[in-house]
Amino acid sequence: MNTKIRSITILVFILFLITVLFFSAIRKQPVEFESGYRLVMGTFARVIIVASNPDSAKKAATAAFAAIEKVDDLMSDYKDDSEIGIVNKEAFQRDVQVSESTFEVIQRSIEFSKLTDGDFDITIGPLSALFRKEKETQIASTQEEINQAKEKVGYEKLILDETNRTVRFSIEGMKLDLGGIAKGYGIDKAIEAIQKTDALGAIVDVGGDCRCFGIPPEGRKSWAVGIQNPNINDDSSENELVMKLKATDRAITTSGDYQQFVIIEGKKQSHIINRKTGSGAEGLSSVTIITGNATDADALATAISVMGTKKGIELIEKLKDTEVILIPSGQTEFIMTSGADKYIK
């Protein structure tokens, strides 16, 4: 009799334990929070957070946007009071001290300039100014204006003091434009901020440039990122995708001439400038880089847009853990590095 009672007691305890564990698992089911789009860094950004509860998810999203906005406040050349704005105004007259973050991005930019033989160059500012004027006036710059601007461009003309974190221009009229790398850096800082919270996973999307980590939304094995069709002219089809990519702990960045450009006298001029010609990059409508962090991805996507297909593929094939997917102008066929296909859904 005692044995029978003991068996029943054990069975009841086991059933109780299973019930407790079951409801505990339900309570701990991760939740997904999507921020919606917000205007930052001159484009639209959003974050998707996977966390154990809604409060943790919202806290992580707030931290992410604060990190992006801080980078924008430091590095935007559209803001006169940003560090880059002050550098552009005063760095020919004096050494301008900047924050660790800004100095880090400038140093990384010079590394990419050397890697790409100047096809990536943050001193492109004088030529960027011509593009902005063309966009506003719809009048093409003269060859004289382009030549004068080119004389003020060149990462070799930057003078950096690593000990004091100062920047100096060797030629009057130089200007920095971090548009080809700062967005990626802002994404990386947002991911760092999220990882300091209780979030289990997230994706940060700033103007179509993304980085993800950790657990994806429920029901998915990985995070999903789309590549837009760069050759669509119909606004109603602007979100048409030509490819979907799957990623875990990856950054995916796309550059091209299909979103920011100006058409003057029937010719399309990309906002990505080739410093050697002084004109917009040609030949590639879309360059998608897949690598470990968004800073590198952003800079490489910009550089490859200038370098072109052959040189671009050759460079990326030499880089560890990095792939590229290219779409030539006017085409929809893809040209990819050897390891890119593993990311295609």
Tell which of 214, 238, 272 closes a domain: 214
Q: Is residue 71 located within the same domain as residue 90?
A: no
What confidence score (pLDDT) does residue 330 get? 82
Dihedral sign for Cα 131, 133, 136, 142, please.
negative
pLDDT of residue 137: 86
Q: Which H helix or E strand runs over 212?
A: strand 209-214
Q: Write the CB contacts of 266 (distance below 8 Å, at least 6 apart in sequence).
A: none
pLDDT of residue 22: 47
Token representation of residue 192: 């760092």
164 and 230 share a domain? Answer: no
105 & 128 share domain? yes
Q: Is residue 24 part of a domain?
A: no
The pLDDT score that the predictor gives to residue 140 is 87
CATH code: domain of residue 49: 3.10.520.10
Same domain? For 53 and 194 the reply is: yes
Residue 15: the pLDDT is 54
Determine the structural domain holding residue 152 and report its residue range.
81-169
Q: How far is CA 180 from the centre of its chain?
A: 9
Q: Chunked in runs of 10, what are the mean pLDDT values of the chain (345 residues)?
A: 55 51 55 94 95 96 98 96 98 98 98 97 96 87 94 97 98 97 98 97 95 92 90 59 92 82 71 90 93 98 96 97 94 91 93
- In degrees and rounded to multiples of 5, residue 161 shows phi and psi of -115, 105
Please give the pLDDT value at position 230.
82
- 126 and 97 housed in the same domain: yes
In a domain, 298, yes or no: yes
In whole angstroms, give the CA distance from residue 145 to residue 114. 26
Residues 210 and 233 in one domain: no
Each residue's pLDDT tens digit, 251-303: 999 997 666 677 776 676 788 999 999 988 888 999 999 999 999 999 999 99
DSSP state letter for 214: E
Question: Burial level of 95, CB count in 10 A (0-12/13-18/19+)?
Answer: middle
Contacts of 269 (CB under 8 A, 6+ apart): 131, 134, 261, 262, 263, 279, 280
Whether residue 115 is found in the same domain as residue 196: no
322 shares a domain with 273: yes
Asked if residue 72 and residue 36 are part of one domain, the reply reads yes
Please give the pLDDT value at position 240.
82
Query: How many structural domains are present in the chain?
Result: 3
* Shared-domain flag, residues 127 and 248: no
In a domain, 11, yes or no: no
Tell me, what's the pLDDT at 238?
A: 53
- Indicate whether 57 and 108 sit together in one domain: no
pLDDT for the residue 23: 45
Report if residue 13 sits inside a domain.
no
